């Protein structure tokens, strides 16, 4: 079991649910990201999802699309992100997951990228547009390097495919709670409890739910049925609105602390 599995098991033993905040690496620059990650960990992040900016992020809504544009303008690259993770790893024990697209990772090489991720101290990778059937060698290479290849399921996933994804994912299964792209929503996804029960029926794999979660109350409601929640656009929006690096870090950390409180059983 890797660092992600260890963290989720420890939380489960304490009766806590995981908070997985998402930020785009290099938004607005890598210096801000370098300051953000320790602050998010200190504020209560259990796993940090670090977005690798890409010019055509097809799963993302406008908020994260704009974050990717800012990061790319600032010269952010996958190699620089790996360098940042490697530099932070000795003083940061929170699991770090890279989230990105196949072109970003496979351009480095199906086997070279997993090796580089391991060397940097990356714990998991979500490759949004790369199903395991299409690149089995890539996922095998991640596993051989001790890097969790985290797979995604959605409300439209068939029962047969859901069982396969739950069996093949590592670390946790990322459940996309609604159809469409990322972005903060005001309400909870329909039929969420029923859809998560379908996963529980075929596997005991930890499940973290993302897409559309923007408040502590929503996080608490979803966590009643899941092992963790992923919050992205609402956090990225706060970073984008900040007038300085210090404000970006402070606002992001404050928001993460508020999101984590009910996942510990404290009032939302």
Mean pLDDT of 24-45: 97
* Region of poorest pLDDT, from 84-88, 111-115, 182-186, 201-205: 182-186
pLDDT beyond 70 at 179: no
Mean pLDDT of 22-34: 97
What are the C-alpha distances in Å from 191 to residues 164, 177, 194?
A: 21, 9, 5
Instruction: Specify the pairing of strand 48-51 against strand 228-231.
Output: unpaired
Mean pLDDT of 199-208: 92
pLDDT of residue 56: 78
- The 10 Å Cβ neighbour count of residue 75 is 10
pLDDT beyond 70 at 59: no
What are the C-alpha distances in Å from 32 to residues 37, 38, 88, 219, 234?
A: 9, 11, 13, 26, 17
pLDDT beyond 50 at 181: no
Mean pLDDT of 55-71: 84
Nearest to 114 by CA among 99, 126, 129, 125: 125
Report the range out of 67-76, 179-188, 206-215 with the highest average pLDDT: 67-76
Spatial separation of the C-alpha atoms in residues 74 and 68, rounded to whole Å: 10
Do 19 and 62 touch, CB atoms closer than 8 A?
Answer: no
Do 3 and 214 touch, CB atoms closer than 8 A?
Answer: no
Residues 6+ apart with CB under 8 A from 110: 135, 137, 138, 141
pLDDT (tens digit, 9 = 90+) per residue, 235-250?
999 999 999 999 999 9
Do 174 and 127 touch, CB atoms closer than 8 A?
Answer: no
pLDDT beyond 70 at 182: no
* Region of poorest pLDDT, from 185-189, 196-200, 213-217, 263-267: 185-189
CATH fold for the domain made of 3-180+187-263: TIM Barrel (3.20.20)
The residues spanned by each domain of the chain are 3-180+187-263
Q: If residue 149 lies in a helix (H) or strand (E), which one and from where to where? A: strand 148-150
pLDDT beyond 90 at 37: yes
């Amino acid at each position: 079991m890797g660092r992600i599995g260890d963290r989720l098991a420890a939380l489960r033993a304490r009766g806590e649910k995981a908070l997985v905040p998402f930020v785009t690496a290099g938004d607005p620059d890598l210096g801000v990201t370098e300051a953000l990650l320790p602050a998010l960990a200190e504020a209560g992040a259990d796993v940090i999802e670090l977005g690798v900016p890409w010019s055509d992020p097809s799963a993302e809504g406008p908020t994260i699309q704009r974050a990717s544009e800012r990061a790319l303008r600032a010269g952010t690259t996958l190699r620089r992100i790996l360098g940042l993770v490697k530099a932070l790893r000795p003083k940061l024990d929170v699991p770090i997951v890279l989230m990105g697209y196949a072109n970003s990772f496979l351009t480095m090489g199906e086997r070279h990228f997993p090796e580089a991720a391991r060397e940097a101290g990356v714990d998991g990778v979500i490759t949004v547009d790369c199903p395991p059937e299409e690149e089995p060698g890539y996922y095998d290479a991640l596993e051989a390097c001790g890097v969790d290849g985290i797979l995604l399921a959605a409300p439209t996933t068939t029962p047969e495919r859901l069982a396969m994804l739950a069996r093949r994912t590592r670390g946790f299964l990322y459940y996309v709670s609604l159809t469409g792209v990322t972005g903060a929503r005001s309400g909870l996804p329909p039929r969420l409890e029923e859809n998560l029960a379908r996963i529980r029926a075929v596997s005991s794999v930890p499940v973290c739910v993302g897409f559309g979660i923007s408040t502590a109350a929503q996080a608490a409601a979803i966590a009643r049925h899941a092992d963790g929640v992923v919050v992205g656009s609402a956090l990225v929006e706060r970073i984008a609105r900040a007038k300085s690096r210090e404000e970006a870090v402070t606002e992001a950390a404050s928001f993460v602390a508020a999101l984590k409180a009910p996942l510990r059983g404290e009032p939302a």
